[in-house]
Amino acid sequence: MLEDKIIQNADFFIKAINDHNERMSKIKTVNKLQTTELKDISIYLRIRPLMPPEIEQNSFEICLPNKNNPYKACVYEPAFRFDNKPVIKTQNFDFDYVFGPNDDNKTVYDNSIQSIVEVSLAGALGVVLCYGQTGSGKTYTITGIEEYLAVDLFNKMDKVINDMNLRSLETFNDRPFEITVSFFEILGSQCYDLLNNKEEIFIMEDKFRNMNIKGIKEYDCLTSDDLLKYINIGFSHRKTHATLKNDTSSRSHAICQIRIHNTVINQANDGIIYLVDLAGSERHADSKFHSKERLKETKDINSSLLTLKECIRARTLSTLGLQQHIHVPFRNSKLTTLLKETFDIEYCIRPCTTIFIANVSPNCLDYSHTINTLRYSSPLKVSQKTGYDPLKKKSYNLKDPSTWEHKHVIQWIEKSSNGAINPEFLVPNNENGIQLSNIPEMEFIRRCLLSKGMTEKRAKLFYLKLWGLIVDCRTKQRKAKLSSKPKPKYDTSMDEEMIRRYELEKKLGIYDAPKEEARKKLMELDGKGFN
């Protein structure tokens, strides 16, 4: 077997990999400093360490972070030539950051997830997705992230309260933030509440195009321990099943929803964090011994993961200033329908950020699994198109906030609010139109309330007025892109020929003649032809 041959030639492969790493170490190192700006979608890779049983069987690592470039992963394929001589094939994959076998959950959390806590407390939407083949450590990663996030969420409340100056508002109380949690799973097209005896729930869209979960039970959390308790209960009820690769393979998408309600600014939308442990994807070879039920599950899982990939990639492409309209097929699965606000750029009315963490095994015997995961996840990191400059100024358009400079923002605030809102309070840092649009709803309303005589309701309406402009502008841009497509030419020659034939038949009295006579006239006409 191939696996036995790989283990037998382990010394050769290890030496070849080490030699390649040594050559790579002589190349100029890429600056490891990352931008602190929170992106719409970030793609990370985590490589787990080898497990003790794998080390005992003489397995070796074939997937490692690039020593000189923390944004690349190197994969070494152990292969054999036609004459059975071992060879190593190398491939590189790009990510926003690559976490190696020595990086623990705390390192992963601090460098990828931590930033979404504050923006979610301010009313934004944060989504964390953990993906990987069965047995790659994705459940271990997401549970570790949930532990740190639960503590961080309560610890950062005071910082957000101070940053937003909530204590200055009359409505400030002893509990400015209410945290609730729910935990459910998606099995194909069915959803079940894992904190309520697996009662079936339904993901539905209301008349305002907002996604709601009908029948879900939410639990109030006063401390981080309360939050972790419900998370652990949810995971214990999740559906798992033994497969060829893992004795407890995840057979559903497990979703922890954390809702953050600001009791000081009641008019603002709730901040939401989705922590998603995706079902383990499988190759056909791994499912050949599955029962009929397992095969159906595998089909549903892979279909859902493919839709997710298409949505993330299309959503990223839609932000690159391309001239054509990019369709995001978020309605093709229950998971992406739930995350509609993340993908539906036209109707999203608040800042959203999505963090995707791909998990892989470095085991040489899992090469095919690892390369499949990398080929799935690396393309999600879309490169900027040639000549695209996001900082290039657009010509000013009163109805497009993305074209506004600071002076235009001030003019719009004064005119649209009839002088009721002081621009110095709403945009104290010389924000432009894009920066104004990225202010979380709670912070936007809080700044408006600093103006004398302003109420929460009026501030909320003013926020919706801004986002009404943004949505209208996106819709017009989409229609313009669709209308710019060349329309297929319709051949009217056939229609004209049918009309001429009808007029000729009517002139000859075929429609009024007896059946036999009409048939003779048609035969004569067909024999002669007509012009």
Find residue 86's DSSP bridge partners: 80
Q: What is the DSSP letter of 49?
A: P
Query: Is 136 a known ligand-binding residue?
Result: yes
| Closest to 328 (Cα-Cα) out of 318, 421, 480 | 318
pLDDT of residue 321: 60
| Closest to 177 (Cα-Cα) out of 303, 270, 252 | 270
Q: What is the DSSP letter of 89?
A: E
Domain definitions of the chain by residue range: 2-386, 401-483
* Contact (CB, 8 A) for 183 and 230: yes
What angle is formed at CA 405 by the lines to CA 399 and CA 406, rounded to 5 degrees? Answer: 115
In Å, how far are 198, 307, 351, 474 from 205, measured between CA atoms? Answer: 22, 19, 20, 21
- Three-state DSSP class for 390? coil
Task: Give the integer Cα–Cα distance in Å for 237 and 211.
Answer: 25
Element holding 91 (H helix, E strand): strand 86-94
pLDDT of residue 291: 62
pLDDT of residue 60: 92
Query: Is 133 a known ligand-binding residue?
Result: yes
Q: What is the pTM of this model?
A: 0.78
Query: Is 395 a known ligand-binding residue?
Result: no
Query: Is 419 a known ligand-binding residue?
Result: no
Task: Give the integer Cα–Cα distance in Å for 66 and 42.
Answer: 19
pLDDT of residue 92: 92
As given in the structure block, the two tokens for residue 380 are: 């999600």
pLDDT of residue 199: 94
Q: 402: burial class by Cβ within 10 Å (0-12, 13-18, 19+)?
A: middle
* Contact (CB, 8 A) for 230 and 241: no
pLDDT of residue 487: 59
**CATH code of the domain occupying 2-386:** 3.40.850.10
Q: 423: burial class by Cβ within 10 Å (0-12, 13-18, 19+)?
A: middle
* Contact (CB, 8 A) for 381 and 80: no
Task: Give the integer Cα–Cα distance in Å for 155 and 159.
Answer: 8
Query: Is 134 a known ligand-binding residue?
Result: yes
Q: What is the pLDDT along the chain (531 residues), one digit of tens a residue?
A: 788 889 899 999 999 999 888 887 777 665 554 544 567 889 999 999 999 999 998 899 999 998 888 899 999 999 998 888 999 999 999 999 999 999 999 999 999 999 899 889 988 899 999 998 888 888 899 999 999 999 999 999 888 888 888 888 888 888 899 999 999 999 888 999 999 999 999 998 876 677 889 999 999 999 999 999 999 999 888 866 555 455 555 678 999 999 999 888 887 888 999 999 998 765 555 555 456 666 777 778 888 888 998 888 888 877 666 566 678 888 889 999 999 888 887 667 778 899 999 999 999 988 988 999 999 888 887 655 444 444 455 688 888 888 899 999 999 999 999 999 999 999 998 888 888 888 888 889 989 999 999 999 999 999 999 988 888 887 887 777 666 665 565 556 666 777 777 788 777 787 778 878 878 877 777 765 544
pLDDT of residue 391: 45
- Three-state DSSP class for 185? strand
| Closest to 413 (Cα-Cα) out of 393, 433, 397, 384 | 433
Map tokens 């059946």 to a residue: 515
User: Under the phi-then-psi rule, with left for phi > 0, alpha for psi from -120 to 50, and beta for the rest, what region is 365?
Assistant: alpha
Query: Is 143 a known ligand-binding residue?
Result: no
Q: What is the DSSP string of 281-337?
A: B--TGGGTT--HHHHHHHHHHHHHHHHHHHHHHHHHHTTTT-SS-----GGGSHHHH
What angle is formed at CA 357 by the lines to CA 192 and CA 343, rounded to 5 degrees? Answer: 65
Task: Give the integer Cα–Cα distance in Å for 373 and 132.
Answer: 6
pLDDT of residue 511: 77
* Contact (CB, 8 A) for 334 and 21: no
Residue type, 442: M
Contacts 24+ apart (CB under 8 A), 381-384: 381/43, 381/94, 381/95, 381/96, 381/316, 382/313, 382/316, 382/317, 382/320, 383/94, 384/320
| Closest to 250 (Cα-Cα) out of 336, 104, 141 | 141
* Contact (CB, 8 A) for 224 and 154: yes
